[in-house]
Amino acid sequence: MAIVKVTEKGQVTLPIDLRRKLGITKDDYLVVETEGEYLKLHKVSEAKPLGPDDPIWTMIGQGSTGKKDISKRHDYYLAQGERKRWRKS
C-alpha cells in the first residue's frame, strides 16, 4: 500500500513501482471511478484495429439494403439519402 499526498490542485503522484507494474507511462490516460469511499484507477487501453478475421466483416451488407460496399461508400450513401429527403420536402 502506498500513501500519496493530494496537492492544492487535486493532483497526486503515482509511485514509480506501481506505474511500472501496471505499465503506466507519460501521457497515458486513467479512468477514475468511485466505489463507496474508494477511488479506483485503471489504465485506458488503446483500441485495436480490426483484423481481417474479425466477425464484423461478415455482417457488412447483411442489412436491409443488401449493399456490400456500405463501409467503403458510407458518405456517398448518406449524401444520396439526404438528396432524396430534400427532394420530398
pLDDT number for residue 61: 66
pLDDT number for residue 7: 96
pLDDT number for residue 73: 82
pLDDT digits (tens, 9 = 90+) for 5-57: 999 999 999 999 999 999 999 999 999 999 999 999 999 987 778 888 888 77
Confidence bin at 86 (pLDDT 50/70/90): confident
CA pair distance 61, 88, nearest whole angstrom: 27
22-50 in b/e burial notation, b at 16+ Cβ within 10 A?
A: eebeeeeeeeeeeeeeeeeeeeeeeeeee
What pTM does this model have?
A: 0.49
Domain 1-47 fold: Pemi-like Protein 1; Chain: D (2.10.260)
